[in-house]
Amino acid sequence: MLEKIKALRKELHQYPELSGEEIETAQRIKNFLTNYPPAKVIEGIGGHGLAAIYSFGRGGPVIMIRCELDALPIEESNLFEYRSAIEGVSHKCGHDGHMAMVAGLIFWIKEQTFRHGKIILLFQPAEETGKGARAVIEDPNFKELKPDYVFALHNIPGEPLNSIIRVQNNFSSTALSLGILLKGKESHASEPENGINPALAISEIISQFDLLNVIEPEKTNFALLTPVHIKMGQIAYGVSAGSAELHYTIRTRDEGEMEKLKSVVNKFLIQVCSQDNLKFETGWFDYFPASVNDPFCNELILKAAETNHFKIKEKPFPYKFGEDFGWFSKKYQSAMFGLGSGENSPALHNPDYDFPEEIIPTGMAMFTSIIEQILKKKDNN
């Protein structure tokens, strides 16, 4: 069983697909599910998402275990046999391992004799862009699933292998991307006074945004504004630039703090562009709502870790990264936990990262213990 799951993980790793393009990935998962066919498979949810439904009698709780299908636009530097065969695309967040763990649950499900309830394995598209979870939830085909509880995990480099990280309140931060377009006026480079060059405004924006950073994630007003792309003018030495664009990712602990920060950012842009006679446009996109852990679901995570005698770490504040699982927590009782992938593991989104297969049994044991707590309680009532 474990060797089949590992083989699936390597296959998924070798043939990654970007957000919104996960056609073959979903098909590979569907093929794997034939090892124990579900009562029903719903394809094309929220794009290329896939839901496998396993039913036990009538009525009872509906438990959804969610993972992600997509990879990243990163060229892999690893040279092992199963390295990415797709140029410029690779699984550098561990979604290949997450999928393998969730798909591998079918071997355990096959042996269960619950009298009530459903287990839904959800393979969600487009997590990396923040669009997939929302698209799944808003898909008409998702309406019939009606989950009572939704659970997920994320592997965490830097934490001891197979440790369980339980996060109080929010698992992950609110994240949002910002694009700023500045429009001035081009002129001859020898006569910049006849134009409006955005260079000074760029420097002021970068400096001011840096002052807005509160980089300690334990603080309630945590704010992280990271510049990711800047472009000004063109490589033409006789022309003083007349336009520019800046792109940032912005992270806060929750939606309330994000709204406050957006207001501050907008007021400053109006001020600086007014004084420099620049026109500007802003675009806010790639929204990741904070993933809020339901207290009851979080308690089930703790009990599952204790039952399996896994090392437990209590984290009192959210991770800084965004996770579109937050769309599920807006509507359903949900929780997400961290799974340590090794203190010496390369970081997520690094070219040399590779999901450690040693943690597959741990992730699966956590999910099965969570499911048992819910469905056995129902059977005993």
Together in a domain, 368 and 303 = yes
Together in a domain, 203 and 118 = no
Band the pLDDT of 381: cuts 50, 70, 90. Answer: low
Does the pLDDT of residue 151 top 80, yes or no?
Answer: yes
What pLDDT, on a 0 to 100 scale, did the predictor assign at position 316? 93
pLDDT digits (tens, 9 = 90+) for 224-253: 999 999 999 999 999 999 999 999 999 999
Together in a domain, 34 and 63 = yes
Q: How many domains does the chain have?
A: 2
pLDDT digits (tens, 9 = 90+) for 300-359: 999 999 999 999 999 999 999 999 999 999 999 999 999 999 999 999 999 999 999 999
- The residue written with tokens 């806060």 in the block is 252
Final residue belonging to a domain, choices 273, 288, 303: 288
Together in a domain, 210 and 159 = no
Q: What's the chain's average pLDDT?
A: 97
277: domain CATH number is 3.30.70.360
Final residue belonging to a domain, choices 244, 260, 288: 288
Together in a domain, 211 and 236 = yes
Final residue belonging to a domain, choices 256, 288, 320: 288
Query: 362 lies in which domain range?
Result: 2-171+290-380
- For residues 116-136, give the mean pLDDT: 97
Distance CA 8, CA 155 (A): 18
What pLDDT, on a 0 to 100 scale, did the predictor assign at position 376? 87
Kindly report the pTM of this predicted structure.
0.93
Does the pLDDT of residue 187 top 90, yes or no?
Answer: yes
Together in a domain, 232 and 316 = no
Together in a domain, 148 and 208 = no
Together in a domain, 165 and 181 = no
Distance CA 206, CA 211 (A): 9
